[in-house]
Amino acid sequence: MQDRLDEVNEIIESYEGGEYKDIFKMQRKLACNIHFLTDERVKYNVEWNTEYHNHNSTVNAVKTRYADKVVPELYMLRHFLSSASTVLMAISQEIKRN
């Protein structure tokens, strides 16, 4: 997973700096990495739900905080994928205009 996160960061940094040579290749790589990271997010979501439902508290907020603490990757992936998807949309719009 870390390799994919690093590759997405590299793509976004080169796009931001205008250093890209093949924007179509960047778009394809970014889209594929988002897909594979979404698979990871699903895996962590299942783990989060397991922790949430197996917690012995009856208070939802306590169970949520506990699951968030045990599975922090889910929170990170949610926000990472959201911002990566926004960059993917920007790249797609740039391709459309050219």
Please write the tens of the pLDDT for every residue from 24-44. 999 999 999 999 999 999 999
**What are the extents of the domains in the chain?**
2-97
**pLDDT > 70 in the chain, percent:** 100
- 21-26 long-range contacts (CB < 8 A, ≥24 apart) are 23/91, 23/94, 23/95, 24/95, 26/91
**Mean pLDDT over all residues of the chain?**
93
Please give the Cα distance from 15 to 56 (Å, whole number).
Answer: 47
Residue 20 — pLDDT band, cuts 50, 70, 90?
confident
Reported as a single tens digit per residue, the pLDDT across 47-68 is 999 999 999 999 999 999 999 9
User: What does the pLDDT read at residue 29?
Assistant: 95
